[in-house]
Amino acid sequence: MRRKRKRQQINFWIFLLPALFFYLIFSFLPTLGGIFYSFTDWTFLKSGFSFVGLQNYRKLFQGDAYFVEALGRTIRFVLVMVLTQTTIGLLVAVLAEAALKKLRNVFRAVLFTPYMISTIVGTFMWSFIFGQVLPQLAESSRFLGFLNQPWIGDPQAAFVSIVIVTLWHGVPLMMLIYLAGLNGIPGELVEAAVMDGAGGWQLFWHVKLPLIFQSITICMFMTMKDAFKSYEVIYALTGGGPGRSTQVLTLNIYEEAFSNYYQFGYASAKACVFLVLVLTVTLCQVGLMKKKEVEV
């Protein structure tokens, strides 16, 4: 018995150690390095660096208007994505579940296809649609005139374009998670509710929705995480423009470190503040979700 346990422990560590090694090298150590460099004046323009204490953090909150504006846009984008992506994903999952049995698998496969496409490839495809396809559709019919918008050139339209592309790529995964939750609902509960006279809306609201609360929690976590670290779609579609109207924190940090200024120490301070923000929001969300799960 002891030999068996020892062998299981050895197998456990054999499989776990490679993952821990890569996490340590590519995630944990760079994070510690970023925290250290946030207290320095390290730049690409000079050799070596000096310890400057909290100077980078004071500069961040006292005189960096671009960072504050990017922070506001990031929070706005996260709120919009959590609200829209989790809701639309649930609606699509309900439609996919209600589809005819013969078409159900085909329907799900078609809806999941956008998630299988590379983010950059999908974004360039949408850039072509916004720049070429939609204006031509608007010219072909007066009823489609509303499509003739400066989708990339106007600040508000550019934000909407980013949301559309992000939803197109992210909703399929939400649908899959919701479908797993819906398929896990015991059929006896649904049949009992139907026998008690529950209609379609009552069945969904009072029976199915409470039972997939864990799926909703997972979708909200994943959406919030992806929205906070969103970079590829925004960079490829608008580059943070027009001007800086769609520049979120990830782009602001990248610009500070690599694009124009090469202020690695200052960019590390921004990244550390960003990390604290994400951790705070995540912990608050965990607490709220646990409280809700107890109530449900």
Instruction: Tell me the pLDDT of the chain (296 aa) as tens digits.
Output: 667 677 777 878 888 888 888 988 888 898 898 899 899 988 877 777 888 888 999 988 887 888 989 999 999 999 999 999 999 999 998 888 877 566 777 777 788 888 888 999 999 999 999 988 888 888 887 777 778 888 888 899 999 999 999 999 999 999 999 988 888 888 787 778 777 777 777 777 877 888 888 889 899 989 998 999 999 999 999 988 888 899 999 999 998 888 767 888 999 999 999 999 888 888 887 777 777 665 55
What pLDDT is stored for residue 85 in this prediction? 95
Nearest to 190 by CA among 174, 176, 210: 210
What pLDDT is stored for residue 125 in this prediction? 94
What pLDDT is stored for residue 227 in this prediction? 94
What pLDDT is stored for residue 252 in this prediction? 92
Cα-only R_g, the chain = 24
Residue 156 Cα distances to 73, 76, 150, 221, 224, angstroms: 12, 12, 10, 26, 21
The Cα 32–Cα 272 span in angstroms is 10
Residue burial 181-208, b: 16+ Cβ < 10 Å; e: rest: bbeeeeeeeeeebeeeebeeeebeeebb
Question: What are the boundaries of each domain within the chain?
Answer: 64-295
Domain 64-295: top CATH class? mainly alpha
Nearest to 178 by CA among 222, 214, 226: 214
